[in-house]
Amino acid sequence: MLQMEPGAGRTAKRKLPIGIQTFRTIREENCYYVDKTAYMARLVAEGKHYFLSRPRRFGKSLFLDTLKELFEGNEPLFKGLAIHERWDWSVRHPVLRLDFSSGNFREPSYLHKDVMAQLDAMESESAVTASYDTAPARLRHLLKALHQRTGQRVAVLVDEYDKPILDALEVPEVARANRDYLRGLYSTIKFGDAHIAFSFLTGVSKFSKVSLFSGLNNLIDITLEPHYSAICGYTEADLDAVFAPELLGLDRNEIRTWYNGYNWLGEEAVYNPFDVLLLFRRRAFAAYWFETGTPTFLIEMLLTRGVSALALDDLLGSDELLSAFDVDHIATEALLFQTGYLTIRRTELRGGEIYYRLGYPNREVQQSLNKSLLNHLTGNLARRAEHSARLYDLLLVNDFDSLKMLFEAFFASIPYQWHTNNEIANYEGYYASVFYSYFASLGLTITVEDSSQAGRLDMAVLFNGNVYLFEFKVVERVSAGTALGQLKERDYAAKYRGRGEPIYLIGVEFSRETRNVAAFEVEGM
């Protein structure tokens, strides 16, 4: 049955809409629904053509489907929602929706076949016939014919607009061809403006206007507009108001640590909906979102470019850099931010230009991404898992002699060929990065490059009522004894003494010759 009253059944459990991207199904089957229709009212009031970038599984498809039902005037579905009293239900607009969420876009010419099939279905459903051979011509004809027939302009919705390009990134020639094809198709939205009431394109990436949207310069990009930051995702208030029956028996702070933290310049961060719904179903914390599709391409790119795992939690990027995304040039910061592996922590103004400080959104991403990096480095998931479990057990009892041997095993497990094929293996950041990833893969509380009056500490780990302070150095052959000495000389422990917990200074030195641990010195305080 439809949910007719906004407060009906507030304390009763409802169906969890896991995998449901159809607004009608959610409403008619009395599923939980976080009302996003106030954003729709604002969009219509403020403009006409919009673009939104959000990571996968953040509710973009459901938002588009809700827009479809709204423009088609299906009033019963909106009873009790924010937009109901603000919409003219006597007006019904025709809707055209392009959906690229499925298909094998790595295959040459597949995109054209897919688009033509979608246009076939639209023409059949609307009883419009066309004899044009190109997709842009057919789409223009559809827009004009529907406008003339109904007397109402058309709503155009495009879901996963960029997937045909993203899927083919490992086949650059296909990715470029798909990009050029889509550029021509999307330009129809600009040239068909007279027949369009509203358009909304959404996807994961934000391709530069030069590369993809050069013919569609009338789009309003709301990706980083603060008042649309929570247009997808769940806020803290949403969890309290909508999902109160599901919160019983779950640690709210743990939910926040695991899944909250995504921000697009709004006043509050949001949760990934997919994670939250799976948590409520299974009642256990796990990397639900991450495990549904982290691309090997991303991990290989980070390693090939020598991006240190330590640096990922404190990257700095400009607005221009975060938009630098194209087939032939993908900025590391842009890829990590747009795909949801990093989020905006804060903005920093420098010389009149806005910069964004990026970091991991939550424990799920930090822990899982570092696991993936280690798995790729060692090439042996079972060995990596065994090392991680052993690290945790040894930290519980502060067995530092065994920790040294375990760290030696960490680096010994990385194939020799990887070192010889990667220049970054010669630098201190690489060794520190492997260390960091093992700790981060356990979900421990870690601070890197922690600043104090004395300088910047390489890494601090808080665990089991203890404080572990690490300093890393690379030496030529044998221990120089400088790592531990620097920890003591600069008194990095001063910042942590107020915690009243045992502090361990750990100086770790790596041999450039053996590519392994040369010294592992510990001093307790």
Q: Confidence class of residue 208 from pLDDT cuts 50, 70 and 90?
A: low
Class for the domain spanning 23-228: alpha beta
* Helix-, strand-, coil-residue percentages of the chain, each rounded to 5: 45, 20, 35
pLDDT of residue 148: 96
* Helices 363-378, 252-259: inter-axial angle, 10-degree rounding: 50
Q: Confidence class of residue 3 from pLDDT cuts 50, 70 and 90?
A: very low
Burial bucket for residue 236 (CB in 10 Å: 0-12, 13-18, 19+): middle
pLDDT at residue 477 above 90? no
Q: Confidence class of residue 26 from pLDDT cuts 50, 70 and 90?
A: very high
Share of the chain above pLDDT 90, in %: 65
Average pLDDT score over residue span 429-435? 78
Structure confidence by residue, pLDDT tens digits, 234-245:
999 999 999 999
Q: Confidence class of residue 515 from pLDDT cuts 50, 70 and 90?
A: confident
Sign of CA dihedral 175, 177, 180, 186: negative
Structure confidence by residue, pLDDT tens digits, 261-305:
999 999 999 999 999 999 999 999 999 999 987 667 888 888 888
Q: How far apart are CA 128 and CA 467, in angstroms?
A: 70
Instruction: Give the domain 380-524 fold.
Output: Trna Endonuclease; Chain: A, domain 1 (3.40.1350)
- Say if residues 66 and 37 touch (Cβ distance below 8 Å): yes
pLDDT of residue 9: 41
pLDDT at residue 427 above 70? no
The pTM of the full predicted model, rounded to 2 decimals, is 0.90
DSSP assignment of 197-257: EEEEEEES----TTTT-TT-TT-EE-TT-GGGTTSSSB-HHHHHHHSHHHHTTS-HHHHHH
pLDDT of residue 2: 39
Buried b (16+ CB within 10 A) or exposed e, 17-34: beebbbbbebbeeebbbb
Q: What residues does each domain of the chain span?
A: 23-228, 380-524
pLDDT at residue 215 above 70? no
pLDDT at residue 424 above 80? no
pLDDT of residue 214: 63
pLDDT at residue 319 above 60? yes
pLDDT of residue 274: 97
pLDDT of residue 428: 58
Structure confidence by residue, pLDDT tens digits, 41-81:
999 999 999 999 999 999 999 999 999 999 999 999 999 99
Q: How far apart are CA 522 and CA 402, in angstroms?
A: 12
> How far separated are the first and last CA of the chain, in Å rounded?
65
pLDDT at residue 353 above 80? yes
pLDDT at residue 233 above 70? yes
Q: Confidence class of residue 7 from pLDDT cuts 50, 70 and 90?
A: very low
pLDDT of residue 109: 92
Nearby residues of 187 by Cβ (< 8 Å), 6 or more positions away: 136, 215, 216
pLDDT of residue 5: 39
- Say if residues 478 and 511 touch (Cβ distance below 8 Å): yes
